[in-house]
């Protein structure tokens, strides 16, 4: 009889204690792994030692609390079975002494105040008796559920919430949530740091340029040309040294590189327009306005477009010898590019309205800033460059087919479009783009792209803007 009862009680108290402890320990091990994982990458060895010591101490306290819980519940069930007549007095006394000794040892380890230990145990038994009387004639299962004692937990002499299991579960859940958020934050920081590291490796300047009010940047064969308030500057060593061109007098207002071998480069300076190449420059004719801010090549080698600071659009069909006004805009223009047609599409960069497009020679304009995921990230456009030899081809919303790629430089970096601004793709370059220029290229040999940022750093890309390495 005693053996059967002992096994029964062991199953009751042991099964609950085993399952409850197993779940808590499992959660606890997971928490320890997470914290140690964070600590291994976030602190010194000394800090990690302190953290591990604190975790071990916390785990031991939790183990003792769970063991005390199991002992008190076992005592309660034991007393209940005795009062129901399911247990002989001798068996009851023997088992009760065993569970009491276990509870006393646990409480002593927690508090260290033995005079209060018996009182705590007797309080648990008294609570059980009151609950049994209140349970009345309910079923055995209902009575057993009603009389489970609720004994306050204590650590260092302070009571914790009475609903031990729920409090423990809530505590474990909140700890897991907090650690999960910490891991997400740590992963985000690591990703951001790696991204910045990759970006810094993929974006390195090739030179530093000191020039007042730079206005244009272009690749001229093996040379680089910079239009500025100091005039036209030429560099043969990728920007390390610059020399003024004697062919162009005074301040240069705008410049556009040649996209094809048969087309010259153009610049506006001193009330005139010049055309030329790395071999030299010659005056082509009068400028269409004393305040030209941008020039662009048309489809035909002899066609050139210009835009003035007051928003007027001009066109020349005789290599900049004469000009005719085509239309105007009411926004502040900053850059100009032309996509081949028919008809030609004028793409106008603005300071605040993004990119505007016109297919009627500048008489009417519409937005070309993309939409949704293809939206241009900034409307403060600094420069536009068209590469007809990129090998790209796309159809616009009107069914028109476009060839080549249009690059835009803004205060937030670079982007490109192959469908006349219906959608934009952001390129890896990050920074405040001041000037954007290009050299000659073809489908197998991409045209080099050049960027001068607002800090005077010069960059070069040989893969259509994907990477910007050092020399």
Q: Give 176-222 pLDDT, tens digit per residue.
A: 787 778 777 777 766 655 555 445 456 999 999 988 889 999 888 88
Q: Give 75-106 pLDDT, tens digit per residue.
A: 777 777 777 777 788 877 888 888 788 777 77
Domains of the chain: residue spans and CATH: 2-152+162-181 (no CATH), 211-461 (2.120.10.30)
Residue range 436-464: mean pLDDT, rounded: 87
Q: Choose between 471 and 282: higher pLDDT.
A: 282
CB-based contacts of 409, cutoff 8 Å, min separation 6: 381, 382, 383, 384, 385, 433, 434, 435, 436, 451
Check if the beta carbon of residue 205 is closer than 8 Å to that of residue 459.
Answer: yes
Residue range 162-184: mean pLDDT, rounded: 65
CA separation for the pair 408, 384 (Å, rounded):
5
Angle between helices 89-110 and 2-42 (to 10 degrees): 20
The pLDDT, as a whole number, for residue 295 is: 96
Work out the percent of the chain whose per-residue pLDDT is above 90. 39
Buried b vs exposed e over 236-260: b needs ≥16 C-beta within 10 Å?
eebbeebeebeebeebbbbbbbbbe
Q: Give 229-242 pLDDT, tens digit per residue.
A: 989 999 999 899 99
CA separation for the pair 274, 232 (Å, rounded):
11
CA separation for the pair 404, 384 (Å, rounded):
13
CA separation for the pair 273, 42 (Å, rounded):
61
Q: Give 33-74 pLDDT, tens digit per residue.
A: 545 454 444 444 444 455 556 556 666 777 777 777 777 777
Among 358, 324, 326, smallest CA distance to 341 is for 358
CB-based contacts of 185, cutoff 8 Å, min separation 6: none
- To the nearest whole number, what is the mean pLDDT of the chain? 77
Q: Choose between 316 and 342: higher pLDDT.
A: 316
Q: Give 341-390 pLDDT, tens digit per residue.
A: 778 899 999 999 999 999 998 899 999 999 877 899 999 999 999 988 88
Q: Is residue 26 scored above 60 in pLDDT? A: no
């Amino acid at each position: 009889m005693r053996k059967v009862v002992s096994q029964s009680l062991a199953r009751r108290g042991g099964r609950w204690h085993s399952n409850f402890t197993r779940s808590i320990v499992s959660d606890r091990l997971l928490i320890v792994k997470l914290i140690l994982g964070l600590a291994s990458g976030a602190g010194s060895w000394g800090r990690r030692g302190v953290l591990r010591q604190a975790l071990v101490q916390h785990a031991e306290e939790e183990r003792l609390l769970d063991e005390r819980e199991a002992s008190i519940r076992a005592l309660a069930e034991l007393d209940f079975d005795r009062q129901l007549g399911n247990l002989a007095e001798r068996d009851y006394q023997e088992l009760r002494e065993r569970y009491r000794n276990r509870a006393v040892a646990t409480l002593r380890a927690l508090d260290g105040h033995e005079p209060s230990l018996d009182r705590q145990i007797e309080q648990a038994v008294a609570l059980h008796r009151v609950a049994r009387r209140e349970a009345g004639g309910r079923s055995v299962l209902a009575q057993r559920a009603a009389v489970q004692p609720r004994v306050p937990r204590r650590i260092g002499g302070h009571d914790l919430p009475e609903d031990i299991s729920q409090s423990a579960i809530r505590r474990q859940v909140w700890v897991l949530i907090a650690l999960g958020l910490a891991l997400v934050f740590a992963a985000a920081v690591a990703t951001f740091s790696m991204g910045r590291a990759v970006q810094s490796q993929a974006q390195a300047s090739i030179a530093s340029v000191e020039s007042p009010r730079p206005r244009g940047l272009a690749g001229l064969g093996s040379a680089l040309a910079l239009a500025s308030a100091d005039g036209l500057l030429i560099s043969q060593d990728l920007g390390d040294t610059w020399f003024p061109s004697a062919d162009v007098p005074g301040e240069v207002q705008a410049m556009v590189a040649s996209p094809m071998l048969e087309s010259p480069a153009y610049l506006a300076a001193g009330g005139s327009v010049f055309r030329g190449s790395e071999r030299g420059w010659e005056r082509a004719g009068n400028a269409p306005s004393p305040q030209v801010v941008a020039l662009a090549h048309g489809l035909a080698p002899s066609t050139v477009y210009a835009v003035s600071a007051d928003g007027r659009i001009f066109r020349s069909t005789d290599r900049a010898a004469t000009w005719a006004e085509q239309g105007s805009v009411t926004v502040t223009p900053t850059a100009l590019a032309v996509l081949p047609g028919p008809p030609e599409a004028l793409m106008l960069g603005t300071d605040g309205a993004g990119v505007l497009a016109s297919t009627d020679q500048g008489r009417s304009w519409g937005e070309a800033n993309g939409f949704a995921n293809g939206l241009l990230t900034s409307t403060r456009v600094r420069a536009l460059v068209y590469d007809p030899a990129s090998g790209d081809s796309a159809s616009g919303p009107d069914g028109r087919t476009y060839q080549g790629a249009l690059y835009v430089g803004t205060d937030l970096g670079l982007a490109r479009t192959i469908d006349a601004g219906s959608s934009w793709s952001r390129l890896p370059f990050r920074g405040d783009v001041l000037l954007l220029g290009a050299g000659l290229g073809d489908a197998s040999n991409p045209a080099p792209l050049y960027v001068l940022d607002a800090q005077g750093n010069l960059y070069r890309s040989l893969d259509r803007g994907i990477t910007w390495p050092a020399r």
